[in-house]
């Protein structure tokens, strides 16, 4: 397979999750688009440095994206932790008004609770639940140990459970279509 075809396949597979991650960190659509493009350009330029023995391609791309986000904010932009979790959710497409109202109410409670979490815990929850990443990859992306990521996730779930109850946490983890992620 030639290199151009390989990069097209890599882009097709990883562009959307990388974009969502950057959008989550910057809270700005145009910045996320620009940094996503830069991530893949840098990956092409640095392809010779990728070593599959040191980690997965996905983790390498997330690290490039994370470094670009850091550079972006160092250059004078304001730090962009999620201010409002609603940025990462779909609006449900159901037409049943009662179900819609219940979902919206539950979603609102969950938004408020997630926004109350410390940024590091919120980031781990977003990457683990919405992006469905394994702890090993979250650790690689965040620069924390796998054990630390598990601890952050566990503490976040305890806080969410105490403020929302077990039923909402169950929906969050096992019934994500209730809170589907936006196709960005």
Residue 81 within a domain: no
Q: What is the CATH number of the domain that holds 20?
A: 1.10.1740.10
Residue 36 CA to residue 130 CA, distance in Å, equals: 18
Q: Among the three residues 74, 99, 133, which one is the final residue of a domain in this structure? A: 74
User: Which helix or strand (DSSP H or E) is residue 124 part of?
Assistant: helix 119-125
Q: Among the three residues 74, 98, 119, which one is the final residue of a domain in this structure? A: 74
pTM of full prediction above 0.85: no
Domain that holds residue 29: 3-74
Tokens standing for residue 134? 């394994």
- Tens-digit pLDDT profile for residues 120-149: 898 898 888 878 889 999 998 888 999 999
Residue 184 within a domain: no
Q: Are 126 and 51 part of one and the same domain?
A: no
Residue 75 CA to residue 173 CA, distance in Å, equals: 37
Please give the backbone phi and psi of residue 99, each rounded to the nearest 5 degrees, phi first: -60, -40
Q: What is the CATH number of the domain that holds 150?
A: 1.10.10.10
Q: Which residue has the higher pLDDT, 21 or 182?
A: 21
């Amino acid at each position: 397979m030639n290199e151009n075809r390989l990069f097209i396949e890599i882009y097709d597979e990883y562009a959307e999750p990388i974009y969502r991650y950057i959008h989550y960190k910057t809270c700005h659509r145009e910045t996320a688009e620009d940094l996503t493009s830069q991530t893949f350009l840098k990956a092409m330029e640095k392809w010779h440095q990728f070593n599959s023995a040191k980690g997965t391609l996905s983790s390498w791309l997330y690290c490039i994206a994370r470094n670009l986000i850091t550079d972006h904010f160092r250059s004078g932009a304001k730090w962009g932790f999620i201010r409002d979790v609603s940025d990462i959710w779909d609006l449900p497409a159901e037409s049943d008004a009662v179900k819609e109202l219940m979902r919206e109410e539950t979603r609102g409670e969950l938004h408020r609770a997630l926004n109350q979490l410390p940024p590091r815990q919120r980031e781990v929850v977003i990457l683990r639940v919405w992006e469905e990443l394994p702890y090993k990859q979250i650790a690689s992306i965040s620069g924390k140990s796998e054990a630390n990521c598990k601890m952050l996730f566990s503490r976040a779930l305890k806080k969410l459970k105490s403020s929302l109850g077990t039923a909402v946490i169950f929906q969050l983890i096992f019934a994500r279509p209730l809170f589907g992620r936006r196709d960005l």
